[in-house]
């Protein structure tokens, strides 16, 4: 009979994990625990693998076995339970649990047309799931809005006003800069072509239509989607991580009513007003370039603009602002509720919220452009 004590560094030898060859069996003795195996796990595993080759195992003499010791023995077995091993009842349960655990397979590398189609199908299913979730949230929003109208006392006035204050004035500086530069770029790019044809006055129509109809609401929505929409998602997602949403539900308070509905209403009010501000500063930039490059006076520009650009374009931009405001709060709230209680999910859903919002804003803007392609273009 031979005996080995590979982990005997402290304590009495019989307490340390060791094994003995008793006849045809490899008998394990001692305490196979993390404390006793620390610093010698690799040595013990390799020694066990060599000693137990072509021998049946007997683990009934082990005094104490924790998950670390069991894992060392399991790896020495090669990840499979020997049929002729002698085990106690508790040991049998531990190793059977190891046997039921599935070893994660390495991720398959995309290859060939089938793999690409599979990835495309998974992406389409994901988008379809998001659209269905957005539809369900829309129904919940309409239900909560109707309930709030029936009970004005419970209408979230404070949350709405707080959201308006946070999203409106704080967005003015960046919108002023971007809007002013957009107006300058539109006029600066159009001026040489118009001057070459002697059609300087049409800078009024080009700048007015493009700013009031398209760039004003679109730029405002893009800025707020990246600035405010991401903040909404992060706020609701952080409440999910800290279990504040669960606390609200425990008290019988609907997160949709107190967190998402006020943001939808607030952005539906704020974003059209910000569109008006962006239109104004963009037109100011266009007026300056028209004066400097084409010699069109400020008075002529402002006087002819209502004539050459029908009011329909202004109101179309305002309606787009309302629609985009609802869309930003709706999508950001949905992704906020989707956040799982971990930081990785929070960052992922915040990114997905901004990407989906920008995509829907551009798609809706393109659809509205096609629907109203022949409306509001005539020159009075």
The DSSP bridge partners found for residue 3 are 20
Nearest Cα residue to 257 out of 156, 113, 363, 379:
156
Query: pLDDT for 197-245, tens place per residue?
Result: 888 888 888 898 999 999 999 999 999 999 999 999 999 988 888 888 8
Given 100, 121, 146, the domain boundary residue is 100
Phi, psi angle pair for 7, to nearest 5°: -110, 15
Nearest Cα residue to 217 out of 353, 366, 379, 334:
366
Q: How many domains does the chain have?
A: 2
The DSSP bridge partners found for residue 25 are 22
Angle between helices 89-100 and 67-76 (to 10 degrees): 70
Given this model, what pLDDT does residue 274 score?
Answer: 95
Q: Looking at the structure, do residues 34 and 180 belong to the same domain, yes or no?
A: no
Going residue by residue through the chain, which has 380 residues, state the pLDDT in tens, using 9 for 90 and above: 455 666 554 444 457 788 888 878 888 888 888 888 877 788 888 888 888 777 888 888 888 888 888 888 888 887 777 877 888 888 888 887 877 775 555 555 556 677 788 888 888 888 888 888 889 999 989 988 888 888 888 788 888 998 998 888 889 999 999 999 999 999 988 888 888 888 888 888 889 899 999 999 999 999 999 999 999 999 998 888 888 888 888 888 888 888 899 999 999 999 999 999 999 999 999 999 988 888 888 888 888 888 888 889 999 999 999 999 999 999 999 999 888 877 788 888 999 999 999 999 999 999 999 998 888 675 44
As a whole number of angstroms, the distance between CA 202 and CA 196 comes to 12
Quick check: is 149 in a domain?
A: yes
Given this model, what pLDDT does residue 315 score?
Answer: 93
- DSSP strands (E only) in the chain: 2-4, 18-22, 25-32, 57-58, 62-65
Quick check: is 350 in a domain?
A: yes
As a whole number of angstroms, the distance between CA 380 and CA 204 comes to 13
Given this model, what pLDDT does residue 1 score?
Answer: 45
Q: Looking at the structure, do residues 144 and 281 belong to the same domain, yes or no?
A: yes
Q: Helix (H, G, I), strand (E, B), or coil: what is residue 63? A: strand
Given 78, 100, 122, the domain boundary residue is 100
Quick check: is 28 in a domain?
A: yes
Quick check: is 62 in a domain?
A: yes
Given this model, what pLDDT does residue 11 score?
Answer: 47
Quick check: is 296 in a domain?
A: yes
Given this model, what pLDDT does residue 113 score?
Answer: 76
Q: Looking at the structure, do residues 47 and 173 belong to the same domain, yes or no?
A: no
Quick check: is 106 in a domain?
A: no
Q: Looking at the structure, do residues 143 and 73 belong to the same domain, yes or no?
A: no
Quick check: is 129 in a domain?
A: no
Give Cα separations from 80 to 30, 70, 77, 130 (angstroms): 23, 12, 6, 42
As a whole number of angstroms, the distance between CA 141 and CA 211 comes to 32
Given this model, what pLDDT does residue 374 score?
Answer: 80
Q: Looking at the structure, do residues 91 and 141 belong to the same domain, yes or no?
A: no
The answer for residues whose C-beta is within 8 angstroms of residue 29's C-beta and 6 or more apart is: 14, 17, 18, 19, 20, 61, 62, 63
What CATH code is carried by the domain that includes residue 36? Answer: 3.30.750
Given 100, 124, 145, the domain boundary residue is 100
Q: Looking at the structure, do residues 160 and 285 belong to the same domain, yes or no?
A: yes
Domain that holds residue 225: 135-371
As a whole number of angstroms, the distance between CA 143 and CA 148 comes to 9
Q: Looking at the structure, do residues 191 and 50 belong to the same domain, yes or no?
A: no
Q: Looking at the structure, do residues 316 and 220 belong to the same domain, yes or no?
A: yes
Q: Looking at the structure, do residues 354 and 262 belong to the same domain, yes or no?
A: yes
Query: pLDDT for 154-186, tens place per residue?
Result: 788 888 998 998 888 889 999 999 999 999 999
Q: Looking at the structure, do residues 62 and 197 belong to the same domain, yes or no?
A: no
Q: Looking at the structure, do residues 317 and 263 belong to the same domain, yes or no?
A: yes
Q: Looking at the structure, do residues 166 and 293 belong to the same domain, yes or no?
A: yes
First-residue to last-residue Cα distance in the chain: 109
The answer for residues whose C-beta is within 8 angstroms of residue 365's C-beta and 6 or more apart is: 214, 217, 218, 320
């Amino acid at each position: 009979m031979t005996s080995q004590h590979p982990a005997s560094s402290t304590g009495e030898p019989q307490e340390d994990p060791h094994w003995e060859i008793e006849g045809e069996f490899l008998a394990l003795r001692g305490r196979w625990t993390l404390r006793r195996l620390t610093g010698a796990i690799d040595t013990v595993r390799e020694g066990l693998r060599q000693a137990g080759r072509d021998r049946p195992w007997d683990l009934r003499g082990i005094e104490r076995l924790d998950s670390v010791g069991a894992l060392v023995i399991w790896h020495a077995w090669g990840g499979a339970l020997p049929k002729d091993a002698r085990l106690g009842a508790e040991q049998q349960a531990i190793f059977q649990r190891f046997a039921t655990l599935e070893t994660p397979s390495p991720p398959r590398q995309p290859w060939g047309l089938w793999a690409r189609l599979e990835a495309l199908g998974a992406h389409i299913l994901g988008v379809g799931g998001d659209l269905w979730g957005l539809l369900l949230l829309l129904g919940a929003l309409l239900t909560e809005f109707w309930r709030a109208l029936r009970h004005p006392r419970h209408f979230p006035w404070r949350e709405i006003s707080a959201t308006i204050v946070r999203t409106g004035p704080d967005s003015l500086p960046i919108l002023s800069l971007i809007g002013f530069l957009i107006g300058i770029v539109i006029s600066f790019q159009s001026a040489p072509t118009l001057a070459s044809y002697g059609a300087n006055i049409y800078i009024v129509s080009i700048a007015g239509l493009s700013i009031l109809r398209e760039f004003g609401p679109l730029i405002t929505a893009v800025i707020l989607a990246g600035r405010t929409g991401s903040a909404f998602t992060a706020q609701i997602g952080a409440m999910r991580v800290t279990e504040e949403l669960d606390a609200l539900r425990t008290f019988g308070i609907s997160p949709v009513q107190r967190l998402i509905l006020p943001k939808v209403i607030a952005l539906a009010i704020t974003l059209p007003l910000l569109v008006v501000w962006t239109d104004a500063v963009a037109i100011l930039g266009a007026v300056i370039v028209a004066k400097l490059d084409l010699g069109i006076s400020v008075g002529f520009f402002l006087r002819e603009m209502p004539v050459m650009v029908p009011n329909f374009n202004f109101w179309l931009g305002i309606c787009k602002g309302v629609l985009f405001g609802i869309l930003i709060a709706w999508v950001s709230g949905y992704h906020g509720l989707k956040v799982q209680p971990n930081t990785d999910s929070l960052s992922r859903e915040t990114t997905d919220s901004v990407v989906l919002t920008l995509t829907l804003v551009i798609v809706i803007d393109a659809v509205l452009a096609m629907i109203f392609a022949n409306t509001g273009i005539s020159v009075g």
